[in-house]
Structure 1
Amino acid sequence: MIVRPYKLPDGEPMLFLIQQSVHAALSGDLASHWGNRPFSPLIHPEVVWPAIFHHDDGWIPVDKSPPIDPKTKRPVSFLDSPAPASHAIWTKSIEWAARISPFAQYLIAEHFMSLREHSESAESEAGQTFIHKYEELSESWRDNWEQRHPQCTDAEEKLALAQLRFFDWFSLWLCLDSRTEVYQFEQTPGDIPLTIRPVADGLFHATPWPWTVDRVHVAAGGYLVPDRDYTDTDDLLLEMNDWCRIEWQFAPE
């Protein structure tokens, strides 16, 4: 669950809860129509696009019954999810990706292994167990894909993984907070810097223009709940009845 601070017009503090599967769907929406030069379109879109869209499906059961942090008494953010809990969730995402393709499993497993390798728990027993398990499995999924698609190059596989990682971060950047300052994405697929400039509420200019359409309109829904102490999940669920949406529009500079 993404836990985003939010204030009502009268200043009352609230929390905007965005489910991880919703964030992933936003990643997929941002990836749609991508590829205006100098940016490359999605590689093998029949696999890469659904992999981006569904890479966080393992969170669906958890986000339906969000846990409460016993210390803060607030919903647990995905950023604070304990490593063993994250591994169990990531494992479900990887397993469920089998319905798409072995290549989707490879991409999602590599994505989560990278997240763990660059985290504080990378050297923990749980972290090492997760990484070692999926190093071997991801190699077998990649080999399976390459046997079926011998024309697929190493460069294309690296580009596909870079695209999944980029759109995941692009979506998180939008969901985690209100953006009012210019931001430059340095690590885009192809390493072409992308500058996003806020010009009005929810409206951004993008330079260089990366989409093949003239304008992009995306949105994410979530639950608006009071920013208060919660005794348990059931207490939070009683408040999760105000479904709202945040919208963003992108236009050329």
Structure 2
Amino acid sequence: MIIRDNGQEFIMIAQHEHGLLSGVIARHFQKRFFLAPNRYEEVIVAISEHDRGWIKLDDTPIWNDAESVPFTFVDYPLLPKLAFYQFGIEEVEKLSPYAALLCSLHFASFSDMLPSAPQEFTDFCKEEQNRQQQLKHRLGVVDESLLQAHFRLLQLCDDLSLYVCLNEPGAAKADEHPWFRSGFEKAKGFVSGGADLPVARWIGAKEIAVSPPVFEHRFSASLRAKHVPKPLIKELGIGRAYSETEWTEHEFIFSNG
């Protein structure tokens, strides 16, 4: 779950909703980023479905007593999170082994952000490395440079969607979430080939401009969220309050900056 707190309510975005937005964003990237037309749809599947392991977890949010907020994707208890990462990858594999390979690379890459990873995560990464070898064997000859390009595209589309989800619409650069304030670090050199980072900025409350240019054209996309009132959580508990809150559809525009 991705969560923002505006004081009166929690804006709660299910991970799979964020993933679906990632996929919409990917479909509007310039075709040069895909490199191999025969892999296009499989890459889109990987990007769209990369967080499908969260569907069951997000169906019933749980409360973080220590912080008096719902658990988010960042601080959710590790063991169930890892188990559902693997469940999600297995579901993606039924759709496309190549997409599952990309998703496995994505989740195993989280170790780069954990300087002292717990043993459970180390074990998870070893299991995913084994899965990756099995998938490569099943796929036959895999072009490693192409695979890495598709993996980096997944990461950038994931981060662009997170940029929308984690920031208040229209946020000034100084007020943006710190992860992306200076640009998309994981995409360094991916867009332009140089050392510069791709950067996003808000143009008003509904439009996000990205530079250097990555999109074929300006486009609109929607994102579903639930605005769960804090008094309702106090009355019903987080699980029931979330369930009884209606979805709100948010429309955004993406353009080249």
Taking structure 1 as the reference length, the TM-score comes to 0.85
Aligned to 1:93: 88
Query: 1:228/1:139 Cα in 2 relative to 1: closer, same or farther (>3 Å)?
Result: farther
Q: Within the alignment, does 1:246 sit opposite 2:257 as a pair?
A: no
Q: Deviations over 1:137-189 (max 9, x none)?
A: 111102222x1xx4x52210110111111111111111012132275335437
Q: Which amino acid aligns with 1:238?
A: R
Q: Within the alignment, does 1:159 sit opposite 2:161 as a pair?
A: no
Q: Within the alignment, does 1:219 sit opposite 2:219 as a pair?
A: no
Aligned to 1:9: none
- 8 Å CA contact 1:23–1:172 kept in 2: the answer is yes
Counterpart Cα distance in 2 of 1:218 and 1:138 = 32
Q: Which amino acid aligns with 2:44?
A: W
- 8 Å CA contact 2:215–2:256 kept in 1: the answer is no
Aligned to 2:239: 237
Q: Which amino acid aligns with 1:4?
A: R
- 8 Å CA contact 1:69–1:75 kept in 2: the answer is yes
- 8 Å CA contact 1:121–1:127 kept in 2: the answer is no
Aligned to 2:205: 201
Which structure 1 residue ranges, 5 or more long, are not aligned?
Answer: 7-11
Q: Which amino acid aligns with 1:164?
A: L
Q: How big is the shift at 1:191? A: 4.4
RMSD: 2.4
Counterpart Cα distance in 2 of 1:102 and 1:41 = 17
Query: 1:252/1:46 Cα in 2 relative to 1: closer, same or farther (>3 Å)?
Result: closer
Aligned residues: 239
Q: How big is the shift at 1:204? A: 2.8
1:129 to 123, 129, 133: 123
Counterpart Cα distance in 1 of 2:183 and 2:4 = 22
Counterpart Cα distance in 2 of 1:191 and 1:249 = 20
Aligned to 1:177: 167
Q: Deviations over 1:167-216 (max 9, x none)?
A: 11111111012132275335437243433232211123333321112x12
Query: 1:65/1:186 Cα in 2 relative to 1: closer, same or farther (>3 Å)?
Result: closer
Counterpart Cα distance in 2 of 1:129 and 1:111 = 16
Structure with more of its chain in helix, by fraction: 2
1:38-117 alignment to 2 at 5 Å?
A: 40-41=33-34, 43=36, 44-117=39-112
Counterpart Cα distance in 2 of 1:42 and 1:176 = 30
Which structure 2 residue ranges, 5 or more long, are not aligned?
Answer: 174-180
SS in 1 for 2:70: coil
Aligned to 2:176: none
